[in-house]
Structure 1
Amino acid sequence: MTAVSRHFVLAAGGTGGHLIPAFVLAEELERRGHHVALITDARGAQIPGKPAGLTAHVLPAGRLQGKNPLSWIKGVRAIMEGRRMALRLFESFEPSCVVGFGGYPAFPALLAAQSAGIPTVIHEQNAVLGRVNRFLAGKVNAIATAYNHIDRLAPKHEEKVHLVGNPVRADVLALREKPYPVFTEDGLLRVLVTGGSQGARVLSEVVPDGLAMLQPALRERLQVTQQCRAEDIEAVRARYAGHDIPAELGTYFEDMASRLADAHLFIGRAGASTVSELTAVGRPAILIPLPIATDDHQAANCRDIVEAGGARAIRQERFTAVELAKQLQAMAQNPGSLANAAHAAWNCGYPAAVSDLADLVESFGGAPMMDVIRVGGSAHAHQGKEALAMETPE
């Protein structure tokens, strides 16, 4: 608990990727005795997982994109209205710092903070600096990152960078110290498949057929849990039944942490939250980056875990049943292969992400600058020491 209670505002776009780390930081700051408010859009206010005591303020968030001048005028008006509303909130709430997590709803709040002389921090969850964060990078006090190398970050802004990782939910982080599930030559191979909050159609179309192409000795031991779109679920169920592969299907799983705990292998997209959870827990994966993701950031998110040997990445244009079967067979050819990949993924994690980010945020508007992890500093040394202290999962 800190000696002085202060106020902080967190501003985030209306997706889980932006909001989950904001929620985790809010809980940590509140645990330290501070008061926290959230700024987002209407969609973000409905995202599950918001801490019970966190007040959400919905602001208009205009988008500056496209070639139509009218859309730009409309976007600017919405941004300025959001800025005015944020300034009114700041007058009463008096935040010590405003923290942006990317997305257009964060933009007016950070503009308002800078005009009011309030310190600002941005957190980038992806391995590519997002559009809003790129625009603000030169004006903020600090840039917190989830990866050691961030694409589209101007060299002149690197001195502001603090490598902290991407905060993950407490129930997921709690799995980090638990061993990788036992996987033997004749035991079940539990596979978890998700494609984001709404599932992904390509996974529904490819994964059942790909799993069916595995060698019989492996295929007969499969136990699958897959998240699907509601309109796809019956077709996927029929595919698994036709292949005689036991599968539990759903459009949404509330107990995702427990399912991740049981999984031997993950198949899915490479969003920031997904990769950070896989590395926090230590689960091997086959990742299919979303091809339409802005600046191809999901492909960049894969780099570290793939280079470490904790995952394999397949571009969507190459993601066929044959290719999936080939990659999965190689990863699961013996129990030790998956366990080693799990350990490699674990070594890529940043378990102290939320405390390091909270330390950084607390350093503004209060006590003198605290010791925080900086790029090229102690982050990897700390990770290495932690990795040496952990036995290779069995």
Structure 2
Amino acid sequence: MSGDVQSRAGRHYVLAAGGTGGHLIPAFALATELERRGHHVALITDERGANIPGKPDFLPAHVLPAGRFGKNPLHWIGGIRAVLEGRSMALRLFETFQPSAVVGFGGYPALPAMLASTSAEIPTVVHEQNAVLGRVNRLMAGKVQAIATSYPDVARLKEKQRIKVDLVGNPVRAEVLTLRDEDFPPFTEDGILRVLVTGGSQGASVLSEVVPDGLAMLQPALRQRLQVTQQCRPEDLDRVRERYRNHDIPAELGTYFEDMETRLADAHLFIGRAGASTIAELTAVGRPAILVPLPIATDDHQAANTREVVKAGGARMIRQDRFTPKELAKQIQAMAQNPGSLSNAAHAAWNCGRPDAAKKLAELVESFGGAEMMDVIRIGANNARGASQGVPAGQGAGCESHTEISE
């Protein structure tokens, strides 16, 4: 064992990810874990990803051309040319950096690096954050050595590819993970109900339209106890502030909150979109939620992301075409009708969390590029995990069955 650990020390790994937070948050978490283990890590992304807040200081970012492929085939020529250029640049980087493995987190900026790694026969892993395999990961799934997933059931995954699957979860930020062992904030029959509303990094106008009026429709005994924190688009800010003022509901509004983890820690109920990172953080901390999937999300993946936690009783999902003030008030009233209901939902959400995701993903990545015999052992272990698509009960790694909150 000591020899194997020694052989893994100081390896080089390349992470490739699209420029959005959904792709980069888990990439940063993995980079931090690999660096903690003594490895050297580099990032391949686009301009957005290279400059996004939260990138670890130790992580060098390489911006490569990637191109995008829309519905118009006339635009594909330029996209293909950019991908091929990015692939050549990635190959040159690999010659210098000599990675033991390359990990792709999806998004078009990851594609050139993934094509380069598979053509150079460098061990390659993809991590899928959503419950539907994304386009780039779908394209590469047949060529990579392992597919790390965040959910037990992932759509668009071919049957013959399931042998490569390893359920690890979706890594979250360390500052959020530290909240996992804290108790759900006290909520009594006459105590304040703190509601946190966000729509992703850019906010969501539909939340600004619906949430203030929905909260105003709650029964007076509950409405009078509200304390709201809501992230809004800049153009919505004044209008939403006026609505809360007219409804006499205390609300703190902003376009961005730097201390989001603190606000999540204090919240009794979350209302927002169903992005992969959002759900990973909600389940890591254990917070009840009303989730409104983005209707234009590719392959309806945000709706798919909600299924596990909704089935467990930790959240409720409302389609955007049914997301009205009346429906929102109905669902909040049902979830907060007594203190025990919210507490039970919080516990159900907590049980869906996979707090060891970064560690498990790091272990999977480390298993590549080692001695040939170790790879044989790894493949056998991964196949067993992929077949079961689960984690032993009692380890806080999966949803357990819970009584759902009554309507």
Calculate the TM-score normalised by the size of structure 1. Answer: 0.96
- Of 331, 339, 343, which residue of structure 2 is paired with 1:339? 343
Query: Percent identity between the aligned chains?
Result: 72
Task: Provide the C-alpha distance between the structure 1 equivalents of 2:205 and 2:399, rounded to a whole number of angstroms.
Answer: 40
1:380 aligned to 379, 388, 391, which one?
Answer: 391
Kindly indicate whether the alpha-carbon contact (under 8 Å) linking 1:7 and 1:95 is maintained by their aligned counterparts in 2.
yes
Match of 1:142 among 122, 146, 149: 146
Q: What is the distance in 2 between the residues matched to 1:353 and 1:374?
A: 14
Cross-structure match for 2:284: 280
Match of 1:169 among 166, 173, 184: 173
The match for 2:58 is 53
Conserved? CA contact 1:350–1:383, under 8 Å: no
Shift, 1:187, TM fit: 0.4
Q: Does residue 248 of structure 2 align to residue 265 of structure 1?
A: no
2:70 paired residue number: 65
Contact 1:7/1:36 (<8 A) preserved: yes
1:48-127 → structure 2 map (5 Å cutoff): 48-69=53-74, 71-127=75-131
Q: Which amino acid aligns with 2:149?
A: T
**Residue number among 28, 36, 39 corresponding to 2:41 in the alignment:** 36
Contact map agreement 1:284 1:310 (CA 8 A) in 2: yes
Match of 1:312 in 2: 316
Q: What secondary structure, in the 3-state scheme, does the structure 2 residue paired with 1:151 have?
A: coil
**Is the 2:390–2:398 Cα contact (8 Å) retained in structure 1?**
no
The CA distance in 1 between the partners of 2:141 and 2:42, in whole Å, is 22
What letter matches 2:23 in structure 1? H
| Amino acid corresponding to residue 35 of structure 1 in structure 2 | H
Report how far residue 93 of structure 1 moved: 0.3
The corresponding residue for 2:245 is 241
1:178 maps to: 182
Match of 1:293 in 2: 297
Following the alignment from structure 2 to structure 1, what is the Cα–Cα distance between the partners of residues 389 and 130? 21
- For 1:86 and 1:385, locate their aligned partners in 2 and report how far apart those are by CA, in whole Å: 38
Calculate the TM-score normalised by the size of structure 2.
Answer: 0.93
**5+ residue gaps, structure 1:** none
What CA deviation, in whole Å up to 9, does each residue of 1:317-376 have, x standing for no partner?
Answer: 000000000000000000000000000000111011000000000000025144568234
Deviations 1:165-205 (A, max 9, x none): 00000110111111000000000000000000010000001
How far did 1:47 drift?
Answer: 1.3
1:363 equivalent in alignment to 2:367: yes
Question: 2: CA distance between counterparts of 1:79 and 1:307?
Answer: 40
Point out where structure 2 has 5 or more consecutive residues left out of the alignment.
Answer: none
Q: Could you tell me which amino acid in structure 2 is paired with residue 99 of structure 1?
A: V
- One-letter amino acid of the structure 1 residue matched with residue 386 of structure 2: V
Residue aligned with 2:15, SS: strand
Pairing partner for 1:22 from 10, 27, 38: 27
Q: Give the aligned CA root-mean-square deviation in angstroms.
A: 1.8
Contact 1:148 1:375 in 2 (8 A): no
1:385 offset after TM fit, Å? 6.6
CA displacement 1:145-175 (0-9 Å, x = unmatched): 0000001101110000000000000110111
- Note if contact 1:24-1:167 (Cα within 8 Å) is conserved in structure 2: yes
